[in-house]
Amino acid sequence: MCGIFAYKGNKTNGAEIVINGLKKLEYRGYDSWGVAYKCDNEVKIYKEVGKIGEFDFNRSKEKLGFDKKCTLAVGHSRWATHGGVTVANAHPHASQDKTIAIVHNGIIENYLELKENLVKKGYEFKSETDTEVIAQLIQEYKDLGLVEGIKKALSMLEGRYAILVISDSDDLLIAARRGSPLIVGAGKDEHFIASDIPAFLEYTRNVMYLDDNQMVIIDNKATFIDLETDREIKKRIVEIDWDTESAEKGEFPHFMIKEISEQKDTISRAINQDPEKIMEIVEEINNAFGTYLIGCGTAGKVCLAGSYLFARIAEKHVNTAFGSEFPSLQQFITDKSLIIAVSQSGETADTLEAIEVAKKKGAKVLSIINVEGSTMDRISDFSIHIKAGPEKAVASTKATTAQMAILTLLAYGCAGKLDEGKFLLLDAASNINDMLNPRYEAHLHKLAEKIKDFESMYVIGKGLNYPMALEAAIKLQEVSYIHAEGFAGGELKHGPIALISEGTPCIVLVGKDETENEIISNAMEIKSRGGYIIGVAPDNHELFDYWIKVPESGNASPIVNIIPIQILAYQLAVLRQNNPDMPRNLAKSVTVK
């Protein structure tokens, strides 16, 4: 959940390259940041509390020594897990003798035990972090040599990590991972290492992926080592088809609204898949004895929507569970089961653990992901790439609808109606193109002005739109910080209706299907108790206090209905002076448990 970036090469402004790269990763961590760089055979560290995006390199480079020749540097933007948000806890961390600097993403589960043993040996700690323990361990074993000392230290760690290490005695950049992502970018006479591709996209699109229990040692070339066998391994260079423009805001004030606007294109790209590959996966789903959709957060809501889509379209029972809860259900998994894992990043820790559990049981795994070459992509039996391009706002929007489009397509495929599903989704994409215009956004802005000062609101849905009621609540929570909850319309009378008071905003997601009359009746129950009814529906109803029109889209209704809520959440965030791209306490990729 932290941003990691490093540079080693022939450019002499390594510290500047790293700082600028960290700015592109700020969506991964943004409560503090720091950089370690080697110049004059000395490792120097600079770190601050706050957002790195607010740091002006040109004004500070001379004062901080960044103007000196530097061809080796590592940096980190932090999202705190161990210890408060302080300069002392910010990365990089140094060994006690100040010869080694390290940045780290992940959680070391046995760090207290290791720290206690190091204290007994005379080591002093300046931070509350688990990361500093790794730096001190490497110093403890550096008589073995830097590389062997790192290997020894890593062998003692329990938990997940992605680390970068530099020292004053070696002109090496060393990285290793277990459970947290690291990607090596290969340029001409230079290398980059990052937790996500946008950090180095302006320099190279050629990447090599570091897998679990692997190390890479970079001098003039990149040498990969399997830490379990201590043998060198060869890596294939993969060319990424993202471009720098797609990873930047351009004319938009925030990534979130840019990514919402891109949905006119991303849904069409998502369903532009090889029909033979889709039907191969459809056959796996139809032949599986027990299919499970798993995901976390928004992806978990997409999975729930998928279970409704398979039931409705293909008359097929598909189970669903959050990745974090899946291990508790493993007793049902066999070698005939199929796991469908959904993730934007392909690096979500709880979902990866769920996949590990399933594979130990012999189950096959299909991943629906955005990031090609991610850990989930590499460990799965099958993958479908949603092709949404970089998604940098913490709150997922375009990846969400692209994931739902893929699940809709698969459900139609299982029913033997693949072409029908594709035509439905293309029509929905066309309708979304018509929706995403300045007048529509102005209509939602007017609503945001009306409800921006409320501290609670509710969302109800039924059938296909029930999972989207849950997802709508997440979007409102994430960026506006308004307390929002989603409910199944029929569950109101079993408790939640007690929350309604005069003027309470309640969003009603309406599909033009057999659930329409019932959800309108549920909305009437809220209206009669003083609720302010916001209808998201193809048709206006007299009970709506505010109507948000959406096109009638059949089984694509969940995709269409969530988009105005995404826009509303964005506008509420801006009106409430929140940063919608970097909501408090959250990070884009949850790569720690």
Q: Is 414 a catalytic residue?
A: no
| Rounded CA separation 6/218 (Å) | 11
Q: What does the pLDDT look like over 385-442, one tens digit per residue?
A: 999 988 888 899 999 999 999 999 999 999 999 999 999 999 999 889 888 888 999 9
Alpha helix segments (H runs only) across 315-456 = 349-360, 375-379, 398-414, 418-435, 438-451
Instruction: Determine the distance from the C-alpha atom of residue 43 to the mean position of all C-alpha atoms in its chain, rounded to a whole number.
Output: 32
Please identify which of the residues 38, 47, 364, 588 carries the catalytic annotation: 588
Assigned fold of 3-246 = Glutamine Phosphoribosylpyrophosphate, subunit 1, domain 1 (3.60.20)
Question: Which residue type sits at 319?
Answer: N
| Rounded CA separation 340/383 (Å) | 9
Asked if domains 254-435 and 437-583 share a fold, the reply is yes
Q: What are phi and psi for residue 135, nearest 5 degrees?
A: -60, -45
| Rounded CA separation 157/537 (Å) | 53
| Rounded CA separation 248/252 (Å) | 9
pTM of the model: 0.77
Average confidence score pLDDT of the chain: 91
| Rounded CA separation 7/38 (Å) | 11
pLDDT score of 545: 97
pLDDT score of 593: 53
Alpha helix segments (H runs only) across 141-241 = 146-155
Burial class (CB in 10 A: 0-12, 13-18, 19+), 526: buried
Question: Which residue type sits at 157?
Answer: L
Three-state DSSP class for residue 181: coil
Helix pair 466-480, 298-314: axis angle to 10 deg = 160
String of DSSP letters for 56-114: -HHHHHHHHTTTS-BSEEEEEEE--SSS-SSTTTSSPEE-TTSSEEEEEEEEETTHHHH
Q: Is 588 a catalytic residue?
A: yes
| Rounded CA separation 503/530 (Å) | 6
Domain borders along the chain are 3-246, 254-435, 437-583
Helix-then-strand count for the chain, H and E: 17, 25
| Rounded CA separation 593/590 (Å) | 8
CB 558 within 8 A of CB 564: no
Task: Decide the pairing of beta strands 72-78 and 93-94.
Answer: unpaired
Q: What does the pLDDT look like over 244-279, one tens digit per residue?
A: 656 677 788 999 999 999 998 899 999 999 999 999
pLDDT at 240 over 90: no
Q: What does the pLDDT look like over 103-129, one tens digit per residue?
A: 998 889 999 999 999 999 999 999 999
Q: What does the pLDDT look like over 77-88, one tens digit per residue?
A: 887 776 788 999
Q: What are phi and psi for residue 5, nearest 5 degrees?
A: -150, 140
CB 99 within 8 A of CB 49: no
| Rounded CA separation 301/260 (Å) | 18
Look up tokens 């209206």; give the residue.
527
| Rounded CA separation 356/368 (Å) | 16
pLDDT at 199 over 90: no
pLDDT score of 3: 84
pLDDT at 238 over 90: no
String of DSSP letters for 114-140: HHHHHHHTT----SS-SHHHHHHHHHH
pLDDT score of 29: 58
- Options 3.30.460.10, 3.40.50.300, 3.40.50.10490, 3.40.1280.10; CATH for 437-583 is 3.40.50.10490
Lowest mean pLDDT among 54-58, 295-299, 311-315: 54-58
pLDDT score of 119: 95
Please identify which of the residues 2, 70, 296, 303 carries the catalytic annotation: 2
Rounded percentage of the chain residues whose pLDDT exceeds 90? 70
CATH superfamily of 254-435: Glucose-6-phosphate isomerase like protein; domain 1 (3.40.50.10490)
